[in-house]
Structure 1
Amino acid sequence: MELQPIYEKLQIQEMNQMQKSTFQASENEQDIILLSPTGSGKTLAFLFPVLRNLQKDISGIQAIILVPARELALQIEQVFKNMGTDFKVTICYGGHDKKIEINNLTQAPAVLIGTPGRVAYHLKNNNFEPKTIKTLVLDEFDKALELGFEEDMSYIINSLKNISQRFLTSATAMDNIPKFVGLDNEKTINFLKLGEAKPNIQLKKVMTIPEEKLETLFKLICKIGNKRT
């Protein structure tokens, strides 16, 4: 896979260290647990290996990315599109028009991004064929469990019989990972120490009343001047 053209489209010089570590460790279909703070670049960390796994001569869905929230699905879709590949990507999530999603799945994308509930719905209704899916990503898996998606995720993963590589990402360390995830001889990449260096931020409360909010804000900005806020 030629990386330089993708770097240019993403307007980056290269991967950061966490992304490089994930890319290298995930060679040879190694299962990966990626622990890294929010905002550290986990999306590209798994999208580069996902892209490396995609094959142009396969017409069905090859990779599925499960996320706990619609906003995250939209974000990942945009990043993948920004990579400028020839592979089709589509998303499905609760609240989105099911007819549009079914239509998008008719001509199967290479990558499917979705929330567990909606992906499970499409699976149960045979709206896509799971047998070609080889790569599974569980992004922000800790949040997905917190939000109660365990049953849907278990159903989905048990329906994917040909998974050859799994990626699990989390912004927090996890004591126990449910067996339904199906990790096999996984490698853990832990960059959570990056989040230990917290900025020295002071919080101050300014009391006002609704009718004077704008005036108070104006006075506050004048008082702060050119200091960072």
Structure 2
Amino acid sequence: MPFSQLPPLLAAALTERGYETPTAVQSAVLEPDAVGRDLLVSAQTGSGKTIAFGLAFAAELLQGEERFGYAEKPLALVVAPTRELALQVERELKWLYLQTGARVASCVGGMNVRQEQRNLAQGAHIVVGTPGRLRDHLERGSLVLDGLRAVVLDEADEMLDLGFRDDIEQILDTTPDSRRTLLFSATLPRPIVDLARRYQKNGHRIETMARGESHADIDYIAMTVAPADIEHAVVNVLRYQEAPGALVFCATRDNVRRMHASLVERGFAAVALSGELSQSERSHALQALRDGRARVCVATDVAARGIDLPGLELVIHAELPVGADTLQHRSGRTGRAGNKGVCVMIVPFPRRRRAEGMMRTANIRPRWEKAPTADMIREKDHERLVETIQPGAAAEDDLAVARALLEKHPAEDIAAALVRSYRARLPEPEDMFADSDQQVAQRMEGPRQGFEDTIWFRMDVGRRGNADARWLLPLLCRRGHITKSEIGAIRIGDSETVFEVRREVAERFAEALRRTAGGEDDVSIEPLGDRPPPQQTRVRRGPPPARGNGAPKYQPKPYRGRS
């Protein structure tokens, strides 16, 4: 159904906002088979689901009228899993229904409950809220749902994952049987289907994306790095891409704080978003991204669903998500509503197999690339600068300044000063710690020039623990307080790894190992002497060792703060 067949005032609102044709999910909910029926809708993130259900229940709410009268009781209820998503839905429905005179009220945790009670008492046609706060208003008696004509559960799978099933069921049990029930979700796991069977009547199922299909508007890139290089990789990806808006995902609140502080220290306009922040702080962070005062948001998975930020062209997974569903929801913050986006997954060497398995489950086939180097970024800066500065019509005042400068300085010096001022505003790229593949291969082959007099050491991690020289080398430097130039050959066996260190630093290295023992890496290192052990022969007895997606023995933190 084209927008011209909608109620006139809704069609006018869409035209004013620049909508020309409906998206796939918006068309699907307006098809004759779907009109007036309960719906179970699965659509990818960024496909316009909010506008879709706003249009889907318009006929029930308006009932042939162009404008709403006074609302004695709410006519529609939208339940969302998070405060940010609920407030975003409220904003979308407000402009969609503005010309109809509809009042849209929100009821979300962290906001003034008395103000919400006053808004409900003044009459609201559409109420948007989170499960816990809606249940609170029901128990207080400030929210009465016996006049509802439509109920929407947005991101229903997320609400069940967060443990809101009891709240949802209590809310639905207090609504009239004649209501329409619309369930919208990016995925349709069995609990959602069971919920639909219980609360829907002859529900119509809509899937606008083939099962297992990945997001076509997102370019997926995966980069393997040493665990100690994760923070540097994030910095370099941000600098290389130079997206107008970027979202960096971390697993914990502590890591969000560290990453945010590190990016701000380097000169990025960054904000943080996590569950520990107050509603006011979270709102200010999102507003800074919307109005351009900030370009980077560092967030936990609280931002993985429902957050729609204009100009968000880049998503970086600084830490691997917990599963394929979270990967898709995180990535879906970009490439929305037909726009293109880039999703970069930073993968520590020890966890590559886990990352590959997760992406196979999500049916994502990324390009595997090396993290951008400082030289690559400087070359990209050069290209951008040449493209950005284009001569054109200039104001007379600008020309007067230009003529005065040319009288005093050569044109080349003036251009060079312009380039310096441009580069001075950009954060410096980072030199990646990890050696090149050629250098790593050389360490594996040994012996190396300059390492004729060495002491050998042993580590209790080998191939079975996913040991790899590219992440062992930074680990040794960090634990032993030496540089990579002082470490020689590295030989990885099935259950242990041996390596050599220059004799002149071996004593200092061993002392540093004793001081740093028992840390986060859980790797034991001990000296062997000045002779290398015999070359290990791989002998298998019984079934081969598991090589699946299990976590390696060494599980580094995703990055370390700067000391």
Q: TM-score, with normalisation over the residues of structure 1? A: 0.87
Partner of 2:378 in structure 1? 222
Partner of 1:203 in structure 2? 222
- How many Å separate the matches in 2 of 1:53 and 1:172? 26
**Paired letter, 1:62:** L
Partner of 1:186 in structure 2? 203
Check whether the contact 2:40–2:196 (CA below 8 A) recurs between aligned residues. Answer: no
- How many Å separate the matches in 2 of 1:18 and 1:44? 9
Check whether the contact 2:147–2:176 (CA below 8 A) recurs between aligned residues. Answer: no
Structure ranking higher on relative contact order (CA contacts 8 Å, 6+ apart): 1
Residues 158/190 of structure 1: CA separation in 2 closer, same or farther (3 Å cut):
same
- Counterpart selection for 2:147 from 108, 132, 141: 132
- Counterpart selection for 1:79 from 69, 82, 92: 92
User: Is 1:61 the counterpart of 2:74 in the alignment?
Assistant: yes
- For residue 21 of structure 1, report the CA deviation from its aligned partner: 1.2
Greater Cα offset, 170-179 or 189-198: 189-198
| Identity across matched positions, percent | 24
Q: Which residues in structure 2 correspond to 1:156-195 (within 5 Å)?
A: 156-175=171-190, 176-178=193-195, 182-193=199-210, 195=213
Computing the radius of gyration from Cα coordinates, the structure with the larger value is 2
What is the DSSP-based 3-state SS (H/G/I as helix, E as strand, rest coil) of the residue aligned with 2:146?
helix
User: Is 1:105 the counterpart of 2:120 in the alignment?
Assistant: yes
User: Is 1:6 the counterpart of 2:19 in the alignment?
Assistant: no
Residues 169/217 of structure 1: CA separation in 2 closer, same or farther (3 Å cut):
same
Question: 1:42-90 deviations in whole A, cap 9, x for unaligned?
Answer: 1111011222221324622000000101111111111112213310001
Check whether the contact 1:134–1:162 (CA below 8 A) recurs between aligned residues. Answer: no
- For residue 192 of structure 1, report the CA deviation from its aligned partner: 2.6
- For residue 202 of structure 1, report the CA deviation from its aligned partner: 2.5
What is the DSSP-based 3-state SS (H/G/I as helix, E as strand, rest coil) of the residue aligned with 2:222?
coil
- For residue 5 of structure 1, report the CA deviation from its aligned partner: 0.6
Residues 181/71 of structure 1: CA separation in 2 closer, same or farther (3 Å cut):
farther
Residues 220/93 of structure 1: CA separation in 2 closer, same or farther (3 Å cut):
farther
Q: Which residues in structure 2 correspond to 1:10-89 (within 5 Å)?
A: 10-24=17-31, 25-27=33-35, 29-55=36-62, 56-57=68-69, 59=71, 60-83=73-96, 84-85=98-99, 86-89=101-104
**Paired letter, 1:69:** T
Residues 163/122 of structure 1: CA separation in 2 closer, same or farther (3 Å cut):
farther
**Paired letter, 2:75:** Q
Corresponding residue pairs, total: 225
Residues 107/220 of structure 1: CA separation in 2 closer, same or farther (3 Å cut):
farther
Question: 1:74-123 deviations in whole A, cap 9, x for unaligned?
Answer: 11111112213310001011111101111111112100000011001101
Check whether the contact 2:37–2:204 (CA below 8 A) recurs between aligned residues. Answer: yes
Greater Cα offset, 197-206 or 141-150: 197-206
Greater Cα offset, 164-173 or 15-24: 15-24
- For residue 147 of structure 1, report the CA deviation from its aligned partner: 0.3
Greater Cα offset, 182-191 or 196-205: 196-205
Return 5+ residue gaps in structure 1 as ranges: none
- How many Å separate the matches in 1 of 2:118 and 2:374? 51
- For residue 12 of structure 1, report the CA deviation from its aligned partner: 0.7
- For residue 222 of structure 1, report the CA deviation from its aligned partner: 1.6
- For residue 220 of structure 1, report the CA deviation from its aligned partner: 5.7
Check whether the contact 1:133–1:162 (CA below 8 A) recurs between aligned residues. Answer: no
What is the DSSP-based 3-state SS (H/G/I as helix, E as strand, rest coil) of the residue aligned with 2:206?
strand
- How many Å separate the matches in 1 of 2:196 and 2:24? 30
Residues 217/69 of structure 1: CA separation in 2 closer, same or farther (3 Å cut):
farther
Greater Cα offset, 4-13 or 165-174: 4-13
Check whether the contact 1:158–1:180 (CA below 8 A) recurs between aligned residues. Answer: no
What is the DSSP-based 3-state SS (H/G/I as helix, E as strand, rest coil) of the residue aligned with 1:156?
helix
Greater Cα offset, 13-22 or 88-97: 13-22
Greater Cα offset, 187-196 or 106-115: 187-196
Greater Cα offset, 185-194 or 37-46: 185-194
- How many Å separate the matches in 1 of 2:189 and 2:135? 24
- How many Å separate the matches in 2 of 1:87 and 1:64? 13
- For residue 16 of structure 1, report the CA deviation from its aligned partner: 1.5
Residues 102/197 of structure 1: CA separation in 2 closer, same or farther (3 Å cut):
closer
- For residue 172 of structure 1, report the CA deviation from its aligned partner: 0.7
Residues 10/51 of structure 1: CA separation in 2 closer, same or farther (3 Å cut):
farther
- Counterpart selection for 1:96 from 96, 101, 111: 111
Return 5+ residue gaps in structure 2 as ranges: 1-6, 63-67, 236-261, 268-371, 385-563
